[in-house]
Amino acid sequence: MGINIRRKFGNTDSTEALLSKFKEQSESIDCPCTITVAIDLVSLKILEDRAKWWSPELNLRIEMQGGESMIYEVVGPNAATFTLAMFFIFLGAVAFIAAFILMIAQIQLGMLSSLAWVGSGLSVILIALALGGLAYGRTKARDQVAGLRRVVEQVIGA
């Protein structure tokens, strides 16, 4: 439920030329984000003073295909936020399975299973809250994603 939007750009510049353009942009003072350039991967993140928990990260992978550079874009949530949300989703799923097993065992033994029903309801609520938080962050991050894309378009000239 992260942002995870994928795009593909074609560019006539070589991979080395594109990477050097991103390095020049990262050294620029007016850049609204931090740019990290690796071997053939470029990562863009919102500056720390403007970053929120929902702030996105944009990763570009540059590959040569038929004499043309192909730029593959992946936009996703902050890794720490996504990991925390996935932890709560996994915790809720495990709690739901445990409550469901407890409910079946109590029903088989003829016992009152109200505690298991409450546990399953709370685990479903936990999962829904984690997914809702990711969805809320996705809507809040749209402007920041547009800003990161403007930087990429400015650099590659798209």
Is a pLDDT exceeding 50 seen at residue 1?
A: no
Is a pLDDT exceeding 60 seen at residue 129?
A: yes
Mean pLDDT of the chain: 85
At residue 19, the pLDDT reads: 81
More confident residue, 97 or 138: 97
Report how many domains make up the chain.
Answer: 1
Residue 81 structural domain = 1-158
Is a pLDDT exceeding 80 seen at residue 114?
A: yes
User: What pTM was computed for the model?
Assistant: 0.74
Residue 1 vs residues 70, 132, 136, 138, 139: alpha-carbon distances, Å: 26, 9, 10, 8, 11
CATH code (residue 69): 3.30.310
d(CA 103, CA 135): 31
pLDDT tens-digit profile of 15-24?
788 888 888 8
Provide CB contacts within 8 A for 12, sequence distance 6+: 68, 69
Instruction: Pinpoint the alpha helices (H) of 6-141.
Output: 15-27, 79-108, 114-140
Query: Residue range 113-140: average pLDDT?
Result: 93
